[in-house]
Amino acid sequence: MRTDAKFAYFYEFLTPFFFIYIGMQVDPGFIATSLGQATILLVPAILGKLIGVSVPALRFVAKRDAVLLGLSMIPRAEIAMVVLYQCHQLDNEIIPDNVFAAVIVVSVATSILASLVLRYLLVNRIPS
């Protein structure tokens, strides 16, 4: 455990660079053309995590807490981006540039939107 704690600092320091690197792999020309796909993907990305986490959590916690838990799980980043990036690197036909850009946009959007909604709900203390 002591060794893991020593590497935690490196992990926390290097993780943002990893995501920046993946984001830099997006061809800027495909961002605008992928916004329609990103919007379509955003809806199930949000609802899937929100419902998939909140509904089972209702068995154990209050409704407000279940919703907060579901909202906190919405951001899509680490594993989805690693798989996406690796598939894109293997062959452009597996993950075309426009799909790569769309999923990166979804990842960024879910991270920002979930954070904003969570902050609002936590600051305003929406009742259970």
Q: Residues in the chain with pLDDT < 70?
A: 1-3, 77-78, 126-128
Q: Where are the alpha helices (DSSP H) in 25-96?
A: 28-33, 35-57, 63-72, 78-90
pLDDT in tens, 89-120: 888 888 899 999 999 899 889 988 999 998 99
Tracing tokens 């990036």 back to the chain, one arrives at 85
pLDDT of residue 18: 79
What kind and span of H or E run contains 125? none
pLDDT of residue 124: 83
pLDDT of residue 102: 93
pLDDT of residue 23: 82
CA angle 87, 40, 100 (to 5 degrees): 20
